A = this chain, B = another copy of it.
Amino acid sequence: MELADGWGLDAVTMQGVAGRIGVTPMALYRLVASKADLLDGLVELFLTELPTPADDLPQDEQLAAMADGLRQVARRHPAVTPLLLQRPATTPGSKQVRQAVYGRLAAAGVDADKIARVERLMSTAILGFLASEAGGRLSHHPRRVLDEDFLALQRMLGAFIADQSTGEGR
């Protein structure tokens, strides 16, 4: 992760990582099955850094806090962020985060049969934005513009959640 943060994802090579921990490249194959496996480990590491919002916050603020936390981790690890969209969302870390979102969507009043879809669209939209931001697709815009974009994105998702809920709003 230090290698990715400091020198970009291209610096994360078997030889690079091996050198970083003072060992030959072949020794790494005792720890990971392949380079893809190593990159999956990077994604898991990313996910473990996500903060868990306090339980006593209102539900919509908890979801907003999770989105903000995701963006902060993405800002710390921009080289790793695009990987989140490219690996199956079935690893332990992914599942844990998803379950946390499920719980908060349920508490927010989203119909049980819509929760999974709402979670997919939310994560997809947020990760798409963060990958764009980290990958450089939007980096020609000043930070302030992107901050407001992210706020607008959160409001859009908030409206969508309300729309998929019964018992409040419409």
Interface, chain A (partner B; CB < 8 A): 82, 84-90, 117, 120-121, 124-129, 131-132, 135-140, 148-149, 152-153, 156, 159-160, 163
Contact call B160/A156, Cβ cutoff below 8 A: yes
A148 to B140, CA, bound (A): 34
Q: Are A137 and B89 in contact (CB under 8 A)?
A: yes
* Complex Cα spacing A32 to B34, Å: 32
| Residues on B with beta carbons closer than 8 Å to the beta carbon of A137 | 84-89
**A140/B82 contact (C-beta < 8 A), A128-B125, A128-B129, A131-B131 known:** no
Which of chain B's residues have a CB closer than 8 A to the CB of A124? Answer: 125, 128-129, 132, 138, 153
Interface of A: prevailing SS: helix
Interface contacts beyond A117-B149, A127-B132, A128-B128: sample of 10 additional A-B pairs, CB < 8 Å, sorted by A:
A85-B128, A87-B136, A88-B139, A117-B152, A120-B138, A120-B149, A121-B153, A125-B125, A156-B156, A156-B163
Residues of B within 8 A of A163 (CB): 156, 159
The residues of B that contact A85 with a CB separation of less than 8 Å are 82, 85, 128, 131-132, 135, 137
